[in-house]
Amino acid sequence: MTIERTFSIIKPDAVAKNIIGEIYHRFECAGLHIIAAKMLHLSQEQAAGFYAEHKGKPFYDNLLKFMTSGPIVVQVLEGQDAIRRHRELLGSTDPEKAQAGTIRADHAISVTQNAVHGSDSAESAAREIEFFFTEDEICPRTR
Ligand code: DAT
Ligand code: MG
């Protein structure tokens, strides 16, 4: 297994529920290290750029409305097999289908307000990290 980096968002619903630390705790317990982090409020343009792949889908307008509705926390996670393991912690997109004990099963309100985002491939991770972070905002681990 290789050490990977992946990109994560704590979405507006989870920030509003005051569970940033609860979610960070799950990452840390799973051996994922937070190597960059910040809180921000997405503009319409930023949200559209980030979710460009979903433009034209029936849920797109609601997704942008939700993602710009309040602050989010974005982070880069690093660890062994980080992309797949992070996605496993999140659970399925629809919280009703998410495996018990996952973040979405425990905390998501609906398929739109689903608490968290995680990159789904190495290509998405690279693109999404670069979308939110400059190289000098990422802090390599001291081992
Ligand atoms: P994921 O976030 O699990 O990678 P995705 O990339 O397919 O899922 O979709 C991005 C987001 O768009 C998802 O987190 C919530 C929203 N979304 C996806 N499918 C939806 C649907 N059928 N109805 C409402 N919102 C949806
Ligand atoms: Mg996705």
Angle at 47 between CA 96 and CA 39, to 5 degrees: 85
26 is an annotated ligand-binding site residue: no
Catalytic residues: 117
Residues β-bridged to residue 73: 10, 39
Q: What is the pTM of this model?
A: 0.97
Residue 127 identity: R
Model confidence pLDDT, tens digit, residues 68-88: 999 999 999 999 999 999 999
Question: 9: pLDDT confidence band, cut at 50, 70 and 90?
Answer: very high
Is 111 near ligand 1, meaning CB less than 6 Å away? yes
Is 141 marked as a binding-site residue?
Answer: no
pLDDT value of residue 130? 98
- Tally the C-alpha atoms within 13 A of residue 78's C-alpha that lie toward its C-beta: 12
With a 6 Å cutoff on the Cβ, whether 94 touches ligand 1 is no
Look at residue 142 in the predicted model and tell me its pLDDT: 82
CA-nearest residue, atom 17 of ligand 1: 112
**17-63 residue pLDDT tens:** 999 999 999 999 999 999 999 999 999 999 999 999 999 999 999 99
Which protein residue's CA is at the shortest distance from atom 14 of ligand 1?
93
